[in-house]
Amino acid sequence: MDINNTFKITTINVSGLNTILKQEQVSNFMKINKIGCLIVTETKLQTTSAKMIYKDNKDITTWWSCDDDNHFSTGVGIIMDNNYAKFVIKKDIIEGRALKLTLLLKGKIRFTIIAIYNFSNNSYKDEIIEFYKKLEEIIIVEKKLQAKIICAGDFNACYDTMIAQQKANRKIFWKERIFQILKKNVMVDINLIYHDKPLNTWNRSDKKSRIDYIWATEDLIPDTIFASTNKVHIFETDHSAVTVYFQIDDLFHLKQISKKKKHNKNNLKIDYRDLYFTHHAYYASRAYQF
């Protein structure tokens, strides 16, 4: 399997994208890892500055969702290789919290990417519930249009905790309702397709959790090859990057909708140790670029 000949969607909380150095580091991270679509959360950008980022880079296109009044705790962006950006036909935003791109692929396939950055502070309960309502409305509309949907980003909620609560017959914490919304709309956590125990994505000295995700509608699963969680070595962040690898031909290169192959997840478990060392060696070999 050639992981370089794939369409990669990666989500990473960048912990701020408001310095030139960080912007260059994120751009290099995307280029070195050959990422087709990079979702960045907690950008801390205002609209005016977001418009200036990467404007001279002819290889990528960017879209941003900013909250200018609360920019230090918000911000979502999608950076896309122009080989794929040419398929984008529409953009919608939820100010500072979500960004939706609609792509029209060959075979008239509607492919929707929803990037989100959920509130980290639970004291904003009313705002979070309203955000979930808007997110669900977006998903329902896209499903009626028969779209294949990706929902990715920093959820600031833990699906593993919700699963544990369900197994213990306990009441589910209100903030984890986001996962109920996704499941109700026939979406799945792709990392759990390929790993029995996915790695944590947020790590601090006193706490760690899996709060960054890529979820997809079930009809997209046969197009995936695998998913991974990896530490970022190029720039400073307390989050890991979550990536899903898609078969390019199935989504972008065929002239007609391909027949889906039977998906057998039992044969597709990935050893994180091998993947980590492969990525680590790759970074080491390219270190001269930095």
Candidates 71, 195, 239, 279; catalytic one: 239
Would you say 96 and 65 are in contact if contact means Cβ atoms under 8 Å apart? yes
CB atoms within 10 A of CB 95: 15
User: Is residue 13 marked as binding?
Assistant: yes
User: Is residue 239 marked as binding?
Assistant: yes
User: Is residue 122 marked as binding?
Assistant: no
User: Is residue 233 marked as binding?
Assistant: no
Q: Is 117 a catalytic residue?
A: yes
Q: How far is CA 93 from the centre of its chain?
A: 16
- 40 forms bridges with which residues in the sheet? 12, 77
- 43 forms bridges with which residues in the sheet? none
Q: Is 274 a catalytic residue?
A: no
> Nearest to residue 279, comparing CAs of 226, 233, 246, 236?
233
Q: Is 54 a catalytic residue?
A: no
Candidates 67, 71, 84, 154; catalytic one: 154
User: Is residue 156 marked as binding?
Assistant: yes
Beta pairing class for 37-41 and 6-13: parallel
Candidates 54, 117, 194, 245; catalytic one: 117
User: Is residue 28 marked as binding?
Assistant: no
Residues with a catalytic annotation lie at 117, 154, 239
Q: Extract the annotated binding site.
A: 13, 42, 154, 156, 238-239
